[in-house]
Structure 1
Amino acid sequence: MAFVEIKQLTFSYPLAQQPVLQQIDISIEEGEFVVLCGTSGCGKSTLLRHLKREITPHGNTSGAIYYDGTLLNELTERVAASEIGFVMQNPENQIVTDKVWHELAFGLENLGYDTMTIRRKVAEMANFFGIQTWFRKSTMDLSGGQKQLLNLAAIMAMQPKLLILDEPTSQLDPIAASEFITTLHKLNKELGLTIILVEHRLEEIYPIADRVVVMDEGKIICNGAPHQVANELRHVSQDHPMLLGLPTPIRVHHALNSLTKAPLTIREGRQWLSENFEPGHEIHVETDLEKNTEKPILDIQDTWFRYEKNGMDILRGLSLQVYPGELISILGGNGTGKTTSLGVMSGIYKPYRGKILIDGKSMKKFSNQDLYHECLAVLPQDPQTILVSKTVKLELEAVVETLKLPKEQAINEINSIVEALDLETLLARHPYDLSGGEQQKVALAKVLLLHPRILLLDEPTKGMDAASKEVLSKILENLKKQNVAIVMVTHDIEFSASNSDRCALFFDGNIVSSDNTRAFYSGNHFYTTAAHRMSRHLFSNAITSKDVITFCKKHQKKHLIES
């Protein structure tokens, strides 16, 4: 029997109209690295949670799950706790102690190990994961990347045989995400650890998988090696939404209908481009004329902020001007102060020095009613912080009630946003029963119902599949046409490159660099897109897969396109 075997697993949440999982059959061998992907709400996270019985969701279940030949529900508590490790999407939800060293020891203490054994195992994990320099730090002082690495190290200290991860890089900056994935690859190859991972960001994780499993509407539609799945998806449907989520080299290859073997990695993509295409000219970029005579709608001037009176400064002279009808992305490492800067821009945090002006008027002079109704709105990093009702429908109705709209207009407003974000099937569901991507869409719907002139977005694409990002792109484009100013803090470089007018790099409590999007990404070495890293040796300022495809069609060495 396989190491993990799922037989005819079917599951429905309470009040759901149809099953989230439908007769899932899958076998996973010991030592395999399996990537599970699919559109938001297809059942990926629900399936993972069924593999860790302590967090199995409540609902109606049928079928069976076997772990190493034993029914999951018949495992002893010790085996279930120690041999099956689970890393959650949000690192904040998993850390339970105040100090790093205590977090590493916590699971071992609960398993009853003696002091010397705990010390040895903790020291070994701290060395393996490079935690020595922050071993005695408070867990509250860690960056998002450090917290996620600590979660992984604490689980590995218990020596699991199966490691399950639910979008572990969704809140990590590109460099921290890359390091985390490298660590997982090392654990799999050097220790033979069986890994099952759900992820939307497939650029780096897809090529190192032994097997890729694609889900759609609660069913498995593809299951095989990465190359095999890349080809199978095209046969499932020429416009299947998951095709948009494949790594850039594969998407470029597919778009050009190339008959060669699809490249999976950036290195393979660069080689494939070099063999088949000639160098091209730069894409012409118009100079930014400082928005001519237009005045900024949001003007942050030399702001300084710290959480405690005698604490360290988080923002150090932050200045930023945001204009009507533009989207500016703020990027940077975990823990640099990006989310704090949004808190200051939104009026949630009060800077001890500097000014924040809206339409030339100090934010201090706005009442809450004036500031947060049809003026400024915030989509927080964790959507659950603004999801408070029993159903999605009630969430949306609560927003329009605060606006005191006529009944017919309120109904039209809700119907319009439900259609735009495809929320119809979610209206009767409890928000906490939704996937991370679905929660993000509901939270976005609540924010957009407020009709803000300034929209602040903190990681808006977190947990979203590629098709949902396309929908979000169109919504943001429409908002810009309505002269809404948008500030987006994001780690999603690909989305930022396709949708931003300007990009800014946040470092050491301030914006150290700002430029138009194409100049910004084509001038960076690490903070840049997969498309640029793959093609910059031929096309110096192509930053999206669409750019690369356009160049390739104009500069091919030989006939690649099917007639």
Structure 2
Amino acid sequence: METIEFKNVSFTYPNCTTVALNDVSFAINESEFVVVCGESGSGKTTLLRHMKKNMVPYGRGTGDILYMGQNIENLEDRISASEIGYVQQNPDNQIVTDKVWHELAFGLESLGESNLVIRKKTAEMAEYFGVSNWFRKNVWELSGGQKQLLNLASVMIMQPKVLILDEPTAQLDPIAATQFFDTIRKINQDFGTTIILSEHRLEEVFSMADKVLAMDKGKIVVFDTPEKVGKVLTNNNKSLFYGLPSAMKIYAEVTSENNTNFKIQELANEKCPITVKEGRLWLDSFKKTAQCEQLKNRRSEDKLVDNTLFENEISSTISGIAKSNITAIDLKNVYFRYEKKNEDILSGLNLTVKKGEMLAILGGNGVGKTTLLKLITGIKKPYAGKVKSDGRVIALPQNAQAIFTEITVEEELGEAFTDKTSYNNSITKEDIISSIDDMIAFMELENYRKTNPYDLSGGQQQKLAIAKVLLLQPQILLLDEPTKGIDPYFKRSLAKILEALIDKGVTIVMVSHDIEFCAQYASRCAMLFDGTIVSEGATRDFFGGNSFYTTAANRISRHLFKNCVTCEQVVEACRNIGV
């Protein structure tokens, strides 16, 4: 039986000229694991919110949405609350109590369950989700990963039949995200819970899915198995292609007849790999085929295949290398703690960033990355050590909403021009309007000029926040999770913006969990752990030597190619194998 069914559903937000959902029809069967993907603003969040009665957004809508054959609008509140669970992107937006144990119990209390039932189910759920060790903690003491796990446990304690998750790992580090996805898969397998997951990180969830629903501009592009969806997106939708798992992208590029220098018919007919494991095995097949072709073409010269071909490095595609020896940011022996009685967050930290460099700082949730940025901006002061910066420092906070002050998108951008330290008094009204128009167009927000920033999707809010920060004309730009909620296609546009800033001498320090983005565009990376920088270096060397904090492309190819950390580098290495 269909658990969720959409019948010709269309929806438009107030003051918007673009339809958020455009005649959408599909059905999700009981116990299916469905991944929803698409560009920011394609309608993913709007689609998910329509699946839960009290989450349906305000606006004009048509069509029918059914849960177990019944219109969602007519569901009893108790059924909607208990049988359809919803986990939001920002874990802080969903937590309503002050203690972990109370947060777990809150849903059952709201349903009127007895104390005996609440205690029993709370204990059981705490053990299942590994919450026992921090059961009595205050929620504000938890890391981002723990908060999101708590949200999931708080929903699952009501034993929902459907679990909806809207980019739940957007603020989690790679290891915490992997653990969270493993838990989701376990829930689907252990309880038969129907899972509907919206996600930009497709490396792991693509292989978990029974079906993938790809959206573009409010419409469904394709709804099918992961293999078939990958094939459709590879051939017909380049923007969504960038979001596919690395193994699929490498396969598609290498087996393209226009992009290879040896016969690929046999390889192209093999099953498209999805996971890292499948990608490694496929590359092994590629190597054997390449060697056979080499041997065939060189036999007349009695030349044997040189296996060191697979060890050669290729030219770097990474940009943003520091363009001067001038120091823009310098931290020496820095110590910081939020309260005297607490332990140090940063302990003896040293870091130097050159002008015109793009530095990516990685590390787990709660290790002090955001705190480090606050010290550079001067918002926080160390109790020991020195922090120096040379230039105007502008920061993009992790929570984009923190810098929103106006009621429309264009007014939000206009507010950036009220900062007299950024712009001289000679700037005209026409210049301001032109700058706002250009930024709105570049950020693909033309249809949302009059929209309240809080009505935008998470990815669109991030775009707006980035646009506002850029209009402030920074000399030193600090970015805290800049790609959070942004689709892979727009990340490429963001990278072009950052590269243009670097060409102008702007220094960029980026805190991010987005390993793929850092590997593609940062010139240098550093790992923050236990209060200090434990490793740093050029991007390829940094990721090439890591086991977990590295890219899928590197894990796929490291047994054949040395220090290939992006899909482009792996594909180039494959093409460089002569025949």
For the aligned pair, the TM-score class normalised by the smaller chain equals: over 0.9
SS state of the match for residue 23, structure 2? strand
**Who is 1:206 aligned against?**
206
- Write the deviation string for residues 513-555 of structure 1: whole angstroms up to 9, x where unpaired: 1111010000000000000000000002100000100111123
- Specify the code of the residue in structure 1 equivalent to 2:518: S
Q: Contact 1:95/1:151 (CA < 8 Å) preserved in 2?
A: yes
Paired residue for 2:409?
392
Q: Secondary structure at the match of 2:206?
A: coil
Residues 344-397 of structure 1 deviation map (CA, whole Å, 9 limit, x = unaligned): 1111112221111123xxxxxxxxxxx7xxx11111111111112111110111
Q: State the 4+ residue runs in structure 1 displaced beyond 4 angstroms.
A: 290-293
| SS state at 2:203 partner | coil
The answer for the alignment partner of 2:295 in structure 1 is none
Q: Is the 8 A contact 2:18 2:447 kept in 1?
A: no
Letter in 1 for 2:577: H
For residues 226 and 293 of structure 1, the distance between their equivalents in structure 2, rounded to whole angstroms, comes to: 46
Note closer, same or farther for the CA distance 1:292–1:437 as it changes in structure 2 (3 Å cut). closer
Q: Is the 8 A contact 1:36 1:212 kept in 2?
A: yes
What 5-or-longer segments of structure 2 have no aligned partner? 257-267, 292-306
- The partner residue of 2:253 within 255, 270, 273 is 255
| Closer/same/farther in 2, CA of residues 476 and 119 from structure 1, 3 Å limit | same
Opposite residue 349 of structure 1, the aligned amino acid is K
* CA-CA distance at 1:556 after TM superposition: 7.5
User: 2: CA distance between counterparts of 1:142 and 1:90?
Assistant: 14
Does the alignment pair 1:175 with 2:206?
no
CA–CA distance in 2 between the matches of 1:24 and 1:51?
Answer: 13
Q: Which residue of 1 aligns with 2:31?
A: 31
Paired residue type of 2:382: P
Aligned match of 1:367: none
The answer to whether the Cα contact below 8 Å between 1:327 and 1:502 also exists between their aligned partners in 2 is: yes
Which AA in structure 2 matches 1:197?
L
Where does residue 493 of structure 2 map in the other structure? 471
Displacement of 1:18 after TM fit?
Answer: 2.1
One-letter amino acid matched to 2:271: K
Q: Give yes or no for contact 1:282–1:541 (8 Å, CA) kept in 2.
A: no
Q: Give how far 1:219 is off.
A: 0.6
Deviation track 1:477-525 (CA, whole Å, cap 9, x = no partner) reads 1111111110000000000000111100011121111111010000000
How many angstroms apart in 2 are the aligned matches of 1:449 and 1:216? Answer: 29
SS at match of 1:207: helix
Q: Which residue of 424, 430, 446 corresponds with 2:452?
A: 430
Describe the SS at the equivalent of 1:527.
Answer: coil
- In the alignment, the residues of structure 2 paired with residue 401 and residue 269 of structure 1 have an alpha-carbon distance, to the nearest angstrom, of 52
* CA distance in structure 2 between the aligned counterparts of 1:481 and 1:445, rounded to whole angstroms: 18
Describe how 1:489-508 pairs up with structure 2 within 5 A: 489-508=511-530
| Equivalent position of 2:395 in the other structure | 378
Equivalent runs, 1:335-346 vs 2, <5 Å: 335-346=366-377
Deviates more, 1:310-319 or 1:479-488: 310-319
Partner of 1:21: 21
Quick check: 1-10 or 106-115, which moved more? 1-10
Q: 2:311 aligns with which of 281, 285, 300?
A: 281
Match of 2:244 in 1: 246
Alignment of 1:331 with 2:362, yes or no, is yes
* Paired-residue identity, %: 50
Aligned counterpart, 1:139: 139
Amino acid at match of 1:54: N
Counterpart residue identity of residue 281, structure 1: E
Could you tell me which residue of structure 2 aligns to residue 509 of structure 1?
531
Question: d(CA) in 2 for partners of 1:10 and 1:172?
Answer: 32
Cα 1:284–1:546, aligned 2, differ >3 Å: closer, same or farther?
Answer: closer
State the Cα deviation string for residues 295-322 of structure 1 (Å, max 9, x = none).
3111112222222232222111222111
TM-score (ref. length: structure 1): 0.93
Separation in structure 1 between the aligned mates of residue 532 and residue 247 of structure 2, nearest angstrom: 34
Listed one character per residue, the Cα deviations across residues 423-459 of structure 1 (whole Å, up to 9, x for unaligned) are: 3222222111111111111110110111111000000
CA contact (8 A) 1:11 1:19 kept: yes
Tell me the CA shift for residue 2 of structure 1.
1.2
CA deviation vs aligned residue, 1:142-164 (integer Å, no higher than 9, x gap): 11011101110111111110000
Query: Structure 1 556/93 Cα, relative in aligned 2: closer, same or farther at 3 Å?
Result: farther
Query: Offset at 1:285?
Result: 8.0
> Is contact 1:522-1:532 (8 Å) kept?
yes
| C-alpha contact 2:322 2:357 (8 A) present in aligned 1 | no
Aligned to 1:268: 278
Report the equivalent of 2:265: none
CA distance in 1, matches of 2:500, 2:322: 19
Structure 2: distance between partners of 1:68 and 1:145: 32
**Counterpart amino acid of residue 300 in structure 1:** L
| 1:483 corresponds to 2:505 | yes
**Alignment pair present for 1:52 and 2:69:** no
Does the CA-based 8 Å contact 1:101-1:122 persist in structure 2?
yes
Distance, in Å, in 2 between the alignment partners of 1:13 and 1:523 is 47
1:300 aligns with 2:310: no
Instruction: Classify 1:556/1:102 alpha carbon distance in 2 versus 1 (closer, same or farther; 3 Å).
Output: farther
Report the Cα distance in structure 1 between the residues aligned to 2:360 and 2:192, rounded to whole angstroms: 40
In the alignment, is the contact (CA less than 8 A) between 2:323 and 2:355 conserved in 1?
no
Aligned amino acid, residue 533 of structure 1: R
Aligned pair partner of 2:461 in 419, 433, 439: 439
* Cα contact 1:327–1:488 (8 A) shared by 2: yes
- Cα distance in 2 for partners of 1:291, 1:26 equals 50
Corresponding residue for 1:153? 153
Distance 1:268 1:291, change over 3 A: closer
Q: Deviations over 1:24-64 (max 9, x none)?
A: 11101110000001111010001101111112111111111
Aligned-partner Cα distance in 2 for 1:54–1:308? 40
Cα offset for 1:422?
2.7
How many correspondences in the alignment? 538
Per the TM alignment, residue 420 of structure 1 is displaced from its structure 2 partner at its CA by 3.1
Given that 1:249 and 1:269 are in contact with CA atoms closer than 8 Å, whether structure 2 keeps it comes out as yes
Query: Is 1:527 paired with 2:549?
Result: yes
**Offset of 1:190 from its aligned partner?**
1.6
SS of equivalent residue, structure 1 residue 172: coil
1:541 aligns with 2:563: yes
Q: Secondary structure at the match of 2:17?
A: coil
* 2:190 counterpart residue number: 190
Residues in 2 aligned to 1:81 and 1:12: alpha-carbon distance in whole angstroms: 25
Give unpaired runs (5+ residues) of structure 1.
360-370, 558-563
Shift of 1:293: 7.7
Change (3 A) 1:527 1:414: same
- Paired with 1:556 and 1:432, the residues of 2 have a C-alpha distance of 54
Q: Could you say which residue in structure 2 is the equivalent of 1:366? A: none
In structure 2, what is the Cα distance between the partners aligned to 1:146 and 1:447?
A: 30
Partner of 1:553: 575
CA RMSD of aligned residues (A): 1.7
Measured after TM superposition, the shift of residue 417 of structure 1 is 2.5
Q: Distance in 1 between matches of 2:445 and 2:201?
A: 23
Q: Indicate the larger mover: 50-59 or 266-275.
A: 50-59
The one of 401, 412, 418 aligned to 1:401: 418
C-alpha contact 2:322 2:523 (8 A) present in aligned 1: no
2:387 counterpart of 1:356: yes
- TM-score, normalization by structure 2: 0.90
Partner of 2:302: none
Secondary structure, aligned partner of 1:11: strand
In 1, distance between residues paired with 2:344 and 2:251? 47
Where 1:298 maps in the other structure, the secondary structure is strand
- Is the contact made by 1:276 and 1:556 (CA closer than 8 Å) also made in structure 2? no
SS of 2:22 mapped into structure 1: strand
